């Protein structure tokens, strides 16, 4: 089927079923183009919390669709490819977290949304890369178990030095793949270009960055800066939005390795099939979902 035909069918079925399509900035361009709402993790969580439609088609990775389901237990949340996971989220383990909580009974658990529902359910509050610093600052606890991203945890620890951060050892293989050598190479070519990086990048890279922020933070910063050439340290899907909003600026990706294979699993045919067959429905055990929702609601209240 031609791309235009698939898009037309998606629009027709979506309208007939009164569905809404949410997509993350790391999705393929063709998927971003048909989304009703595009955002980073925090924006998508907020949007998911207020959606009216009976069906949400979530184009992202599994933990994001799961978050949408927890926030909308009465709605049908569909992920077009069931195997679109997040290796970072898979590095968080609920039983190891239980042990860590036993060792540090006075610590609060702050859980990055890139984690399974079982880990969210054992946490005091969730956070995303947009609000991690503010979430940690808002807690009365001096000790914080931060799970599962060690790079975001280390960034938070630098921003909130008055707290003791007990880190987890997880990492995003995509953002972890960039090195100070990549920064030096691009800085050699474009010495005046600022480096905008996601906090999942290694600390040595973040130290060399001019701005550290979430995907939406990077998009906002790129629009505000006077520089016409920018170096981008996050997943390459974001380039679509950056170019659309800044047609006169040039964007260079810190490394070609900044491509998330899981985010790229969904294509237009998958979205159409998801709408037509209403698959793959995301299901979460109601008791675990209730506990995880508490951590998510606390996050949404704080910021
Ligand atoms: P954002 O919080 O910037 O959307 O990041 C999500 C993510 O998966 C980063 O790899
Ligand atoms: Fe997970 Fe990294 Fe992909 Fe984000 S970019 S979904 S953290 S693997």
DSSP states of 3-22 as a string?
Answer: HHHHHHHHHHHHHHHTEEEE
Q: Please give the pLDDT value at position 42.
A: 87
Q: Which distant-in-sequence residues (6+ apart) come within 8 Å of 285 by Cβ? A: 117
- Say which DSSP state 162 is in: T
Tell how far the Cα of 217 is from the centroid of ligand 1, in angstroms: 11
Tell how far the Cα of 260 is from the centroid of ligand 2, in angstroms: 6
Among the listed residues 42, 149, 160, 11, the one whose alpha carbon sits nearest the alpha carbon of residue 88: 149
List residues near ligand 1 (CB under 6 A). Answer: 40-41, 114, 128-130, 172, 200, 214-215
Q: Which distant-in-sequence residues (6+ apart) come within 8 Å of 106 by Cβ? A: 141, 142, 143
The answer to whether 53 touches 20, Cβ cutoff 8 Å, is yes
Q: How far is CA 172 from CA 22, 150, 208, in A?
A: 22, 9, 19
Distance of CA 49 to the CA centre of its chain: 16
Q: Please give the pLDDT value at position 137.
A: 97
Mutate to test the pocket of ligand 1, among 27, 45, 200, 202 (most ligand atoms within 8 A of CB): 200
pTM of the model: 0.97
The length of the chain is: 303
Q: Render pLDDT for 3-46 as a digit per residue (tens, 0 to 9).
A: 999 999 999 999 999 999 999 999 999 999 999 999 999 899 89
Where the chain has pLDDT below 50, the residues are none
Cα end-to-end span (Å), the chain: 44
Q: Please give the pLDDT value at position 294.
A: 97
Q: How far is CA 54 from CA 231, 272, 292, in A?
A: 40, 17, 22
Q: Please give the pLDDT value at position 49.
A: 87
Q: Which distant-in-sequence residues (6+ apart) come within 8 Å of 74 by Cβ? A: none
Determine the Cα–Cα distance for residues 295 and 300; give it in Å rounded to an integer: 9
Q: Please give the pLDDT value at position 219.
A: 98
Nearest protein Cα to ligand 2, atom 3: 260
Residue 87, judged by CB atoms within 10 A of its CB (0-12, 13-18, 19+), counts as: middle
Q: Please give the pLDDT value at position 211.
A: 98
| Number of neighbours of residue 5 by Cβ within 10 angstroms | 11
Q: Which atom of ligand 2 is nearest to the CA of 24?
A: 6
């Amino acid at each position: 089927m031609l791309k235009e035909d698939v898009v037309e069918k998606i629009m027709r079925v979506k309208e007939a079923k009164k569905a809404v399509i949410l997509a993350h900035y790391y999705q393929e361009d063709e998927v971003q183009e048909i989304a009703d709402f595009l955002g980073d993790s925090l924006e998508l969580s907020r949007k998911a919390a207020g959606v009216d439609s009976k069906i949400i088609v979530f184009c992202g990775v599994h933990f994001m669709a799961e978050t949408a389901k927890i926030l909308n237990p009465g709605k049908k949340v569909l992920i077009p490819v069931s195997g679109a996971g997040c290796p970072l989220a898979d590095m968080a383990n609920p039983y190891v977290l239980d042990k860590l909580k036993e060792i540090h009974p006075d610590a609060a658990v702050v859980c990055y949304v890139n984690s399974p529902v079982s880990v969210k359910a054992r946490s005091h509050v969730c956070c995303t890369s947009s609000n991690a610093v503010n979430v940690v600052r808002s807690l009365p606890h001096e000790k914080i178990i931060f799970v599962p991203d060690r790079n975001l945890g280390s960034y938070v620890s630098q921003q909130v030095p008055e707290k003791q951060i007990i880190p987890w050892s997880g990492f995003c293989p995509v953002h972890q793949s960039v090195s100070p050598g990549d920064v030096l190479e691009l800085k050699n070519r474009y010495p005046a270009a600022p480096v905008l990086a996601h906090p999942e990048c290694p600390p040595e890279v973040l130290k060399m960055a001019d701005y550290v922020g979430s995907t939406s933070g990077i998009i906002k910063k790129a629009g505000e800066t006077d520089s016409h050439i920018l170096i981008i340290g996050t997943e390459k899907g974001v380039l679509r939005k950056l170019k659309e909003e800044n047609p006169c600026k040039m964007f260079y990706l810190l490394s070609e390795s900044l491509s998330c294979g899981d985010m790229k699993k969904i294509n237009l045919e998958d979205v159409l099939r998801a709408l037509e067959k209403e698959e793959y429905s995301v299901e979460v055990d109601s008791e675990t979902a209730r506990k995880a929702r508490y951590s998510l609601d606390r996050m949404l209240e704080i910021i």
